[in-house]
């Protein structure tokens, strides 16, 4: 309520700790005295459960139960846990308050630890003084200068002031280091010490001295300005001497440890790289919204940088870190003063918008997308990035923080699937798509770990001699429980999550095993064609590692052919061209797969070291449905032969296909009309049969 702010301000000036908690013990307010007592800043205490600060939680629970039962204030001794681990002895007074059907508990906490210690010290000092009063008196009279030198050698400021006028009576030389003024200046201007107190803390210090009764000892922390202009934090332990009418104090400079403590507290809720709030702070932010503004709608945006991992992998994390810092600054500049932005982890960010109106959310999402329009300049190099954003609306899409983030993450992945650099609102149907993705991902991981993946091999037949030229290796996943998982399901998932690299290594390993086995059975030239994805080709050392692996296996590169698709080539033709050229130079033949379905540009063919053009099966299957397809096949064959390339047709399923392709001098044929893909053992068995298993047969119907 608006009327509560002044009350809370007053409570912050009280020397006793004051907190307000709900019936669960969650702290709703804590004044500065209590924060200092337990060693936490007040903004960190808000939302914490008081039980986490107690040495014995049963004391509080019994106290709350008794107050609620009897309906009156209750005093009890309680031990709190200081942040650094020591016990803070106190006496607390608990009163129950009912307001607007809410039950709150007002807790007054008085720190007894220092009082106990000081009383013991005073008793010990009194006994010692009584025993040595005479000797000390003589010593002080005869060696006053010596004592002064001793006091002046201390790092702490020793001082005392008049309890009525607050004028300085004595101070040692340590004051010069902390305040920047000489001892003589302080003694000549007895009010100088007050003038150096930070203006915002002067009322606090004044109230402290006014409320410190004779015989009491207390500690106070406040800020002063050094003569050089720097602000410093001081800690003073002050005793009000009842007989001498003096305030006697020992003051130390705690600027450095306080800064370190505040830094530790800051880092507990902030990302050390970007200085944005972290996941823990995001969780508190959401919990506070649910607690205090449960009916207020808001939008949550989940942002992921597109292709950022590639920058980290190729340029190093130092470059990536600089980009992340710049990204966070651009986000700060784009957001409103009431919006909240946190670094969720890696290159992921979460933004909470105060306004949940769809037009406003759209405008902000577009603004965030626009922040990536300008490149990120690092070490005189420009990096162009984009972001994919998933958006959820509270409470329409979810009512818990976990579900909001989960759904926004789902929408973000949908934005990536639709081409990246865009924002997508969450829809319940996306969850099923994500579940299917995760299911296939799990099966892939299980297949890799349990060796479920198996290569099938489909023969490639010379159209003139009907001699078998080689085999295309096709990865299959026959899962023992889920059954046969089609490649068109698991390949896109593997491409998306990076498992394609593991699958590629598995394909190469099994293909080489197959090559070794066939070489033992037949002394004839052949090859095994393996499919290579764009992800694999974008690895800097892919070609080198493949050739090195063949060398270690003792397999000539002539036994291997690499098949790449048009789309994979055109993603980054310059990078792919370098990889393919290195493979070709090493003795591996290159086949361009699915030709005609992608860019269908003949201009780039001369730039690539292609041995074979492989006409996509869609043209073959519809040869006699549309005459244009027959012309396309004829044109591709003529062009390839003019460039010195072989031509392979896949999808040969019918006798008519076979006859047409033979007539048009297609070099190599592949399809169910000749032989379907077979597992390794069946290939080996058929190699030992007398009848060639690739003899044209009736159509079997094409299946992946």
Does pTM surpass 0.75?
A: no
Residue 391 has pLDDT above 90, yes or no: yes
More confident residue, 530 or 249: 530
- Candidates 260, 288, 276; CA nearest to 48 is 288
Pick the CATH number of 453-687 from 3.40.50.1980, 3.10.580.10, 3.40.50.300, 3.20.20.450: 3.20.20.450
Residue 239 has pLDDT above 60, yes or no: yes
Residue 704 has pLDDT above 60, yes or no: no
Cβ atoms within 10 Å, residue 342:
24
- Candidates 373, 339, 341, 336; CA nearest to 274 is 341
How confident is the model over 47-79, as pLDDT tens digits?
888 888 888 877 777 887 888 887 776 777 888
Q: What confidence category does residue 701 fall into, taking pLDDT thresholds of 50, 70 and 90?
A: very low
Residues contacting residue 5 through CB under 8 Å, at least 6 positions apart: none
Residues contacting residue 213 through CB under 8 Å, at least 6 positions apart: 240
| Burial classification of residue 47, based on how many CB atoms lie within 10 Å of its CB (0-12 exposed, 13-18 middle, 19 or more buried) | middle
Residue 130 has pLDDT above 70, yes or no: no
| Burial classification of residue 6, based on how many CB atoms lie within 10 Å of its CB (0-12 exposed, 13-18 middle, 19 or more buried) | exposed
Q: What confidence category does residue 4 fall into, taking pLDDT thresholds of 50, 70 and 90?
A: very low
pLDDT computed for residue 703 by the predictor: 34
Interval 143-171 mean pLDDT: 74
Helix (H, G, I), strand (E, B) or coil at 155: coil
| Burial classification of residue 613, based on how many CB atoms lie within 10 Å of its CB (0-12 exposed, 13-18 middle, 19 or more buried) | buried
Percent pLDDT > 70 in the chain is 90
* CATH topology match: 275-426 vs 453-687: no
What is the rounded CA–CA span in Å between residue 680 and residue 682? 6
- Any idea of the CA torsion for 541, 542, 546, 552, to the nearest 10 degrees? 30
pLDDT computed for residue 698 by the predictor: 44
pLDDT computed for residue 348 by the predictor: 95
Residue 3 has pLDDT above 60, yes or no: no
Question: CB of 623 within 8 A of CB of 660?
Answer: yes
Interval 171-180 mean pLDDT: 84
Q: What confidence category does residue 7 fall into, taking pLDDT thresholds of 50, 70 and 90?
A: low
Pick the CATH number of 275-426 from 1.10.10.10, 3.30.70.270, 3.30.1490.100, 3.90.960.10: 3.30.70.270
Instruction: List Cα–Cα distances, 646 to 108, 473, 568, in angstroms.
Output: 90, 19, 20
Domain 143-259 has CATH 3.30.450.20: yes
DSSP string, 176-223: HHHHSS-HHHHHHSTTHHHHTB-GGGHHHHHHHHHH--TT-EEEEEEE
Residues contacting residue 622 through CB under 8 Å, at least 6 positions apart: 629
What single DSSP character describes residue 329? H
How confident is the model over 500-512, as pLDDT tens digits?
999 999 999 999 9
pLDDT computed for residue 691 by the predictor: 63
Quote the tokens at residue 462: 């010379």
DSSP string, 359-414: HHHHHHHHHHHHTTSS-EEETTEEE---EEEEEEEETTT-SSHHHHHHHHHHHHHH
Interval 385-414 mean pLDDT: 92
What is the rounded CA–CA span in Å between residue 93 and residue 108? 5
Percent pLDDT > 90 in the chain is 32
What single DSSP character describes residue 607? G
pLDDT computed for residue 450 by the predictor: 94
Pick the CATH number of 4-111 from 3.40.50.970, 3.30.450.20, 2.60.260.20, 3.40.50.10890: 3.30.450.20
> Poorest-confidence range of 209-213, 233-237, 255-259, 299-303?
255-259
What stretches of 586-616 show up as alpha helix (H) in DSSP? none
- What are the structural domain ranges in the chain? 4-111, 143-259, 275-426, 453-687
More confident residue, 216 or 11: 216
How confident is the model over 574-625, as pLDDT tens digits?
788 899 999 999 999 999 987 766 554 566 777 789 999 988 888 888 777 7
Question: CB of 365 within 8 A of CB of 389?
Answer: yes
- Candidates 284, 338, 339, 346; CA nearest to 45 is 284
């Amino acid at each position: 309520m608006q009327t509560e702010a002044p009350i809370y301000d007053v409570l912050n000036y009280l020397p006793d700790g004051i907190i307000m908690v709900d019936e669960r013990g969650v702290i709703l307010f804590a004044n500065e005295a209590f924060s200092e007592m337990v060693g936490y800043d007040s903004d960190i205490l808000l939302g914490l459960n008081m039980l986490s600060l107690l040495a014995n939680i049963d004391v509080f629970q019994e106290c709350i139960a008794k107050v609620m039962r009897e309906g009156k204030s209750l005093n009890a001794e309680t031990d709190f846990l200081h942040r650094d681990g020591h016990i803070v002895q106190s006496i607390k007074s608990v009163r129950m308050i009912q307001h607007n059907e809410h039950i709150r508990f007002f807790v007054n906490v008085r720190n007894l630890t220092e009082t106990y210690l000081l009383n013991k010290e005073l008793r010990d000092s009194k006994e010692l003084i009584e025993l040595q009063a005479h000797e000390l008196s003589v010593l002080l009279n005869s060696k006053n200068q010596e004592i002064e030198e001793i006091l002046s050698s201390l790092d702490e400021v020793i001082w005392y002031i008049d309890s009525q006028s607050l004028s300085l009576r004595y101070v040692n030389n340590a004051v010069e280091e902390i305040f920047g003024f000489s001892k003589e200046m302080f003694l000549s201007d007895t009010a100088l010490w007050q003038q150096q107190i930070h203006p915002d803390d002067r009322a606090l210090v004044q109230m402290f001295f006014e409320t410190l009764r004779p015989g009491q000892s207390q500690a106070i922390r406040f800020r002063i300005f050094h003569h050089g202009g720097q602000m410093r934090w001081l800690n003073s332990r002050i005793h009000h001497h009842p007989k001498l009418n003096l305030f006697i104090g020992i003051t130390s400079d705690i600027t450095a440890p306080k800064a370190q403590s505040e830094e530790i507290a800051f880092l507990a809720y902030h990302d050390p790289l970007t200085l944005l709030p972290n996941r823990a702070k995001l969780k508190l932010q959401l919990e506070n919204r649910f607690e205090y503004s449960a009916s207020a709608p808001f939008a949550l945006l989940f942002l992921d940088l597109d292709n950022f991992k590639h920058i980290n992998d190729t340029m190093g994390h130092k470059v990536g870190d600089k980009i992340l810092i710049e990204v966070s600054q651009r986000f700060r500049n784009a957001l409103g003063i009431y919006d909240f932005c946190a670094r969720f982890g890696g290159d992921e960010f979460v933004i909470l918008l105060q306004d949940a109106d769809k037009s406003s959310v759209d405008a902000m999402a577009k603004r965030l997308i626009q922040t990536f329009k300008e490149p990120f300049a690092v070490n005189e190099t420009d990096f162009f990035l984009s972001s994919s954003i998933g958006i959820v609306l509270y409470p329409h899409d979810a009512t818990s923080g976990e579900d909001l983030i989960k759904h926004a993450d789902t929408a973000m992945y949908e934005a990536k699937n639709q081409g990246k650099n865009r924002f997508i609102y969450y829809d319940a149907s996306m969850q099923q798509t994500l579940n299917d993705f995760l299911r296939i991902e799990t099966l892939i991981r299980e297949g890799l770990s349990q060796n479920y993946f198996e290569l099938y091999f489909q023969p490639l037949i010379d159209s003139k001699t009907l001699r078998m030229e080689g085999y295309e290796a096709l990865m299959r996943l026959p899962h023992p429980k889920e059954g046969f998982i089609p490649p068109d399901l698991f390949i896109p998932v593997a491409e998306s999550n990076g498992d394609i690299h593991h699958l590629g290594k598995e394909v190469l390993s099994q293909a080489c095993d197959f090559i070794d086995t066939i070489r033992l059975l037949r002394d004839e030239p052949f090859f095994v064609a393996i499919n290579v994805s764009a992800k694999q080709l974008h690895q800097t050392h892919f070609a080198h590692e493949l050739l090195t692996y063949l060398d270690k296996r003792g397999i000539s590169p002539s036994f291997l052919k690499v098949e790449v698709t048009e789309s994979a080539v055109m993603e980054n033709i310059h990078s792919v061209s370098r990889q393919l050229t290195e493979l070709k130079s090493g003795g591996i033949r290159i086949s361009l797969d699915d030709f005609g379905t992608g860019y269908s540009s003949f201009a780039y063919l001369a730039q690539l070291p292609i041995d074979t053009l492989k006409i996509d099966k869609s043209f073959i299957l519809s040869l006699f449905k549309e005459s244009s397809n027959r012309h396309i096949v004829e044109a591709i064959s003529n062009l390839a032969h003019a460039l010195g390339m072989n031509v392979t047709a896949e999808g040969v399923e019918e006798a008519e296909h076979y006859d047409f392709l033979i007539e048009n001098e297609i070099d190599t044929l592949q399809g169910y009309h000749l032989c379907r893909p077979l597992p390794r053992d069946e290939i080996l068995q058929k190699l030992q049969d007398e009848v060639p298993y690739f003899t044209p047969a009736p159509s079997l119907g094409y299946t992946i």
